[in-house]
Structure 1
Amino acid sequence: MSFDTTGLVAYVNGEYKPLSEASVSIFDHGFLYGDGVFEGMRVFDGGLFRAELHMARIARSARSLGLAMPVDGDEIVSIIGEVVRRSDLRDAHVRPIITRGFGGPGIDPRLCPVPSLIVSAYPFPPFLGADPIKLFTSAIVRKAPRSLGAHVKSLNYLDAIVAKQQAGELGVHDAVMLDSLGAVAECTGANLFIVVGDTLVTPTTRAALPGITRRTVLEIAAEQGIDAEERDVWPMELHAADGAFVCGSGAGVVPIGSFDGRPVTYPHHPLIERIQEAYREKTRDAAYRTELYAAA
């Protein structure tokens, strides 16, 4: 699968460049050691969705690593707008990245006096599609919270990559990952919900990223009077769920059709369809958007 960069622009450390020419040094510690943080954001019809929450999260991630923000969140949003407009995109996935910066070999962060900032934007349909997906439970364990906190959206995704590789080799769409206690954490790049009766249930964020879409779903549930619980979810509960879905900025809200070869009772559960519709409405609601194009 090729990635067409024609006409796309990226920002790298103060310069706007064709995406195909954008690069950092091989001695940038983001490249060498995964020493950095990022966000995955969405633009829907020219509006950046929930920018303030993403900027707050990347700032928390950076603080957790003792990583200096090269500019503040408002300036990053301004850069995102310029990248999107120069790339002539109305619907896009956006990825701001902050790395420790150039420092040469050696993991000591004191070797890197200036952090790097990279922003890219590109067309990106929901990466899991729209139809009910098949999942399996991976033996790869999420490292958090005994290693790096789950709230840190870092550049190191190796555990998720290996689990995703397993899913591909088994012919399913994605993997469910467990935490160190054996409870469900999340999928490789999305949070997970199950429907138990009339209640939405989602794992805690002990070992799962506190996703912006996850938060939006919980807000929708509160607004619509849908019972929702955040608690430990155990693997056998997945097999008994009435319905289930994954959610994330890159995935949207996608129903799950089966876990480990066992079908979900209602892959098109009406509660999930309500959440999907409400989420679509939120992405078009001016209260949740930062408009990147001037009104005509």
Structure 2
Amino acid sequence: MKIYLDGKLVDRADATISVFDHGLLYGDGIFEGIRIYGGNIFRLDEHLERLEYSAKALLLKMPWSRKEIADATIETCRANNLQDGYIRLVVTRGVGDLGLSPWLCPKPSIFIIADKIALYPAEHYTKGLEIVTVATRRMNPAALPPAVKSLNYLNNILAKIEARQAGALEAIMLNDQGYVAECTGDNIFIVHKGEIITPAASQGALKGITRDAIFDIAKEIGVPIREANMTRYDVWCADEVFLTGTGAEVIPVVKLDGREIGDGKPGAVFAKVRESFRRRVLTEGTRI
């Protein structure tokens, strides 16, 4: 496997960063998870735009243009003969001292990994997931805006641990007002009375690239869609529930907190969304 690291393709064993890199010491950095389908990098430009926004929010000055990062991403996929898989693009603050001060890190680092990923077992994409609500609350947007896709993921990891302890593969995280924010690694959508509803970013949800695609798909299939405050009750009583994310793609949920969603099977709206999504991933983006 070849890893892109600061301008060069290196072997996996040689892809190392300094122990003084602030991405490691303090989680001071940003990342994007990106999918490639049949040689098409899905919505690459949108991912790189979000990367730029995250960098701006953290005052992390990236010395590379969007085209340079796109070219490096394509080069990494080609070097690994990757036609279908997952791309992890990471930018760290770079090497500094043992203090917090980011201005003492003169040069950021970038690395790109292109490999395979399987977030959930294949059978759950047809049968659906059984998930739970966990006690760990989603971080308040006033503390760390969820739109920033940073290397600080302990909040989500703690919730993921709770999910595993409860015997579930995924979990809903509530915000500090008790509204549904998102899952540990996915955005959440419900279908209720013919309408698709999802939490707003202001409630703690990441502005997911796949999430954005669902808004486009909803228009295509003629189903109303909106953002709204959502409680666990709303999810329990939904007709359908599905999750989205770059790693998860689009996956149905059939049970939350021991309560069946709808008739306990993936629904008709989800089926239409999944069909449209599978078509789009082959055409919307950048060919390698």
User: What TM-score range do you get, normalising by the shorter chain?
Assistant: over 0.9
**TM superposition score normalised by structure 1:** 0.93
Tell me the residue number matched to 2:260.
263
Q: Percent identity?
A: 37
Q: Which runs of 5+ in 2 are unaligned?
A: none
In structure 1, distance between residues paired with 2:100 and 2:120: 33
Q: How big is each residue's C-alpha offset from its partner over 1:145-204, in whole Å with a ceiling of 9 and x where there is no partner?
A: 121111100001101101111111111111100112110000011100011011101011
Tell me the residue number matched to 1:4.
none
2:278 maps to a residue whose letter is R
Tell me the residue number matched to 2:192.
196
Tell me the residue number matched to 1:213.
210
Tell me the residue number matched to 2:71.
78
- Kindly indicate whether residue 185 of structure 2 is the aligned counterpart of residue 178 of structure 1: no
Q: CA deviation at 1:92?
A: 1.3
1:83 maps to a residue whose letter is T
Q: How big is each residue's C-alpha offset from its partner over 1:251-290, in whole Å with a ceiling of 9 and x where there is no partner?
A: 01000011011111143110000000000010112xx120
- Kindly indicate whether residue 85 of structure 2 is the aligned counterpart of residue 92 of structure 1: yes
**Alignment check: 8 A CA contact 1:245 1:272 kept:** yes
Aligned length: 283
**Aligned counterpart for 2:251 among listed residues 231, 249, 254:** 254
Provide closer, same or farther for how the CA distance between residues 64 and 128 of structure 1 changes in structure 2, counting only shifts above 3 A: farther
In structure 1, distance between residues paired with 2:157 and 2:5: 25
Q: Which runs of 5+ in 1 are unaligned?
A: 1-7
**Which runs of at least 4 in structure 1 moved beyond 6 Å after TM superposition?**
none
Q: Secondary structure at the match of 1:30?
A: helix
**Alignment check: 8 A CA contact 2:221 2:272 kept:** no
**Alignment check: 8 A CA contact 2:179 2:229 kept:** yes
Tell me the residue number matched to 2:183.
187
Provide closer, same or farther for how the CA distance between residues 128 and 196 of structure 1 changes in structure 2, counting only shifts above 3 A: farther
**TM superposition score normalised by structure 2:** 0.96
**Alignment check: 8 A CA contact 1:128 1:173 kept:** no
**Alignment check: 8 A CA contact 2:45 2:285 kept:** no
- Kindly indicate whether residue 48 of structure 2 is the aligned counterpart of residue 55 of structure 1: yes
For the aligned residue pairs, the C-alpha RMSD in angstroms reads: 1.1
Tell me the residue number matched to 2:94.
101
Q: CA deviation at 1:63?
A: 0.2
**Alignment check: 8 A CA contact 2:200 2:229 kept:** yes
Tell me the residue number matched to 2:277.
279
In structure 2, distance between residues paired with 1:89 and 1:20: 19
**Aligned counterpart for 2:31 among listed residues 28, 38, 59:** 38
In structure 2, distance between residues paired with 1:256 and 1:57: 27
In structure 1, distance between residues paired with 2:38 and 2:213: 19
Q: CA deviation at 1:144?
A: 3.1
In structure 1, distance between residues paired with 2:76 and 2:120: 22
